[in-house]
Amino acid sequence: MTNTMTPVSSADGIDAGVDTAKLGELLLGRWAEVRLAARELAGRPELHKVEGLGYEEHRERVLEQLRILVQANGVHRAFPTRLGGSDNHGGNVAGFEELVIADPSLQIKGGVQWGLFGSAVLHLGSEEHQDKWLPGIMDLSIPGAFAMTEIGHGSDVASIGTTATYDADAQEFVINTPFRAAWKEFLGNAAAHGVAAVVFAQLITQGVNHGVHAFYVDLRDPETMEFLPGIEGLDDGIKGGLNGIDNGRLAFHNVRIPRTNLLNRYGDVAVDGSYSSSIASPGRRFFTMLGTLVQGRVSLNGAAVAASKVALKIAIQYATERRQFNAASDTEEVVLLDYQRHQRRLLPLLATTYAAAFAHEELLVKFDDVFSGAHDTDEDRQDLETLAAALKSVTTWHALDTLQECREACGGAGFMVGNRFTSLRADLDIYATFEGDNTVLLQLVAKRLLADYSKEFRNLDFGVLARFVAGQAADLTLNKTGLRQVAQFVTDTGSAQKSAKALKDEDTQRQMLTERVQTMVADVAGALKEAAKMPKDKGAEIFNNNQNDLIEAARAHAELLQWEAFTAALGRIDDAGTKRVLTRLRDLFGLGLIEKHLDWYLMNGRISMQRARTLAPYINRVLAKLRPHALDLVDAFGYGPEHLRAPIASGIERERQDEAREYYRALRASADAPVDEKILIAKAKAASKK
């Protein structure tokens, strides 16, 4: 990354240039050194995806790439120092997510091995379990699978069908797949490479089902790689993406494992079969166990941000070089990014990517605080789980939208596999539904919002409730009768300039985005308040009737989190020019959200027609002001040619365009230039009029 400044004089004469080096440092965040080391590793050709490989060859290549990571000591950061790690949980995720730019299959297979399989042993097992298995997991001598998902129960882990029944006489658990819907499915490392797995199953002892627990199960003979007795497996074969990962399915037919293979941090079974746990509530125990595995969602969120950055760097670089049509000149064609529509296509995605990047850094800090023990209360873990679910959902969807729009914005060149968009999108497609289906995750977020809303008004005295009811009445009067719109019109006095000034105000944006979340949550809470008192079927019907609104409220909450993170980041920028440009980019993100949900704001009386009409033209003006800085903003991501690996972002397009322009200049200056037929026709018409 070079330290460049692009001075552009604004209307008031203030230099609004971007210091890309300083901005790049801000984007690298707390774990800058780890990120840079991971990017250096991801830039090595032997780690890059080779397009067109057969899936079996791709799988073997990725397995060898994992061994390269082990040799480079790039996978041990989160593990205990006594075993050769560094207990650096945030840095570990920050490094892993950068591997997506080398090959998403590498990032995800590494995540399966060390982020899921290894983390399950680390966080759910005892120190004895860790000492026994983690060294082999860390050095890849024990490739393993994370056997949670079942074909009949994806996100509903609590309802999985696999059982682990304790046999006190033999001091063994018997793992069993009782029906076809209980087959473990979509498991990385299951089809070919895994010799062991952490298997999630219903723990049954002394006739009591104590819910889902995790068990360490050997799968294959490491010498022959044949399945052990009682274990059945199938290869999932070719997928829509990530074909460097050997996904497969597993079933267990009365497979016996030692009692001590239960990963017993949160629940244990004694020799006689008696069960004990430090967490009395089965529900709380279940969510505590699953909460320890949240890093998968955190990592996917960061990888989605990285992929969005790469896509935008390629597309915007190309858009500043590719020329098309000459409406503004008789001789010069127009650069794509100078077209307003092209700005509309790419720059809002750039603004959202910045918002997602700043929000991810806050998520990563929260994750590290919890797992390092710095801030590790039950509430901290709940906050982390909610934050990860909210951001993973909106950010992975954004990455898919960004890759598709960038592909289309680059035309036929974008469709070529060598320019990365189609390949990255295929590989990232699954991000929207694994480590938690995005829609289900947003429902989890919404339930937390409802719980917080309910808690806020629990055990309040009559005076407080009366004030709240009065506030609701005032809100209803202000918004539903149009008084807010009238007030906005009076304030703006019909002036588009005043409306625009109000919209770009930070407090106005915060109020509008916050009010939308609060209102949506309150509306759903009001609709659901009677459901708990009804029979189960009636309550479920009411919940189902409000499910869409519930999920939309959660999405609005996630968008607000991103806006707040972007706004907080502005306070950490010292350079005046950079801050000015980033503030405009933040405004583009915030106003883009309001424009996207403009129907809601109008229907709920939160914006006047005057301001609503002003919104789109003002966004267009912001785009025009950001246009000169677009290349600096993507250069600040810090990705070099070894990371992009896209011919259209290599400068070749500029060379082609310059060559063409020089050709036509020389032709026009020569006596050999052909005469345009239209000129002859025009001359003939002029002569006929004489």
Q: What is the mean pLDDT of residues 507-514?
A: 93
Q: Which amino acid is at 625?
A: K
pLDDT of the residue at 680: 85
Mean per-residue pLDDT over the chain, rounded: 90
Cβ(145)–Cβ(117) below 8 Å: yes
pTM above 0.75, yes or no: yes
User: Are 424 and 456 part of one and the same domain?
Assistant: yes
Separation between Cα atoms, residue 67 and residue 106, nearest integer Å: 11
CATH number at residue 567: 1.20.140.10
pLDDT at 590 over 60: yes
User: Are 433 and 548 part of one and the same domain?
Assistant: yes
User: Are 514 and 417 part of one and the same domain?
Assistant: yes
User: Are 58 and 189 part of one and the same domain?
Assistant: no
Q: Give Cβ neighbours of residue 57 (< 8 Å, ≥ 6 apart).
A: none
Within a domain: 15: no
User: Are 325 and 197 part of one and the same domain?
Assistant: no
Picking from 105, 138, 171, the residue at the C-terminal end of a domain is: 138
Q: Which two tokens stand for residue 256?
A: 């016996």
SS3 (DSSP) at 525: helix
Q: Please provide the DSSP assignment of 130-155 as one string.
A: HHHHHHHHHTTSS-EEEE--BTTBSS
What digits encode the pLDDT tens for the residues 489-503?
445 445 556 666 778
User: Are 456 and 485 part of one and the same domain?
Assistant: yes
Query: CA of 296: how far to CAs of 114, 315, 427, in Å?
Result: 10, 28, 16
What is the percentage of the chain residues whose pLDDT exceeds 70?
A: 90
What digits encode the pLDDT tens for the residues 370-413?
999 899 888 899 999 999 999 999 999 999 999 999 999 999 99
pLDDT of the residue at 9: 41
Within a domain: 685: no
Cβ(66)–Cβ(113) below 8 Å: yes
Picking from 614, 635, 656, the residue at the C-terminal end of a domain is: 635
pLDDT at 461 over 50: no
CATH number at residue 34: 1.10.540.10
Q: Which two tokens stand for residue 222?
A: 């490491």
What digits encode the pLDDT tens for the residues 41-69?
999 999 999 999 999 999 999 999 999 99
For 18-39, b where at least 16 C-beta lie within 10 A, e where not — what string? bbbbbbbebbbbebbebbebbb
* Confidence class for position 504, pLDDT limits 50, 70, 90: confident
User: Are 186 and 234 part of one and the same domain?
Assistant: yes
pLDDT at 451 over 50: yes
Q: Which pairs count as long-range contacts for 250-253, CB under 8 Å and 24+ apart, including other chains?
A: 250/145, 250/147, 250/183, 250/184, 250/187, 250/190, 250/197, 250/199, 250/219, 251/177, 251/182, 251/183, 251/184, 252/162, 252/175, 252/176, 252/177, 252/199, 252/217, 253/176, 253/177
CATH number at residue 246: 2.40.110.10
Within a domain: 387: yes
* Confidence class for position 2, pLDDT limits 50, 70, 90: very low
CA 520 vs. chain centroid, Å, equals: 24
**Residue 334, strand partner residues:** 324
Separation between Cα atoms, residue 218 and residue 403, nearest integer Å: 40
Within a domain: 667: no
Residue 281: what are its φ and ψ, rounded to 5°?
Answer: -75, 120
Cβ(396)–Cβ(560) below 8 Å: no
For 345, the domain range is 295-635
- What number of helices (H) and strands (E) belong to the chain? 27, 13
Separation between Cα atoms, residue 95 and residue 130, nearest integer Å: 23
* Confidence class for position 462, pLDDT limits 50, 70, 90: very low
pLDDT of the residue at 331: 66
User: What is the phi-psi region of residue 237: left when phi exceeds 0, alpha when psi lies from -120 to 50, beta otherwise?
Assistant: left
User: What is the phi-psi region of residue 121: left when phi exceeds 0, alpha when psi lies from -120 to 50, beta otherwise?
Assistant: alpha
Separation between Cα atoms, residue 529 and residue 539, nearest integer Å: 10
Separation between Cα atoms, residue 290 and residue 286, nearest integer Å: 6
Q: Give Cβ neighbours of residue 248 (< 8 Å, ≥ 6 apart).
A: 187, 190, 191, 192, 233, 234, 235, 236
Cβ(516)–Cβ(501) below 8 Å: no
User: Are 134 and 153 part of one and the same domain?
Assistant: no
Within a domain: 8: no
What digits encode the pLDDT tens for the residues 184-229?
999 999 999 999 999 999 999 999 999 999 999 999 999 999 999 9
User: Are 461 and 513 part of one and the same domain?
Assistant: yes
Separation between Cα atoms, residue 675 and residue 541, nearest integer Å: 75
Neighbours of 2 (CB within 10 A): 7
Q: What is the mean pLDDT of residues 564-580?
A: 96
Query: CA of 496: how far to CAs of 380, 488, 614, in Å?
Result: 45, 12, 6
* Confidence class for position 314, pLDDT limits 50, 70, 90: very high
Ranking 210-224, 565-579, 608-622 by mean pLDDT, the lowest is 608-622
Residue 40: what are its φ and ψ, rounded to 5°?
Answer: -60, -40
How many domains does one find in the chain?
3
Cβ(392)–Cβ(297) below 8 Å: yes
Within a domain: 303: yes
Picking from 104, 138, 172, the residue at the C-terminal end of a domain is: 138
pLDDT of the residue at 659: 86
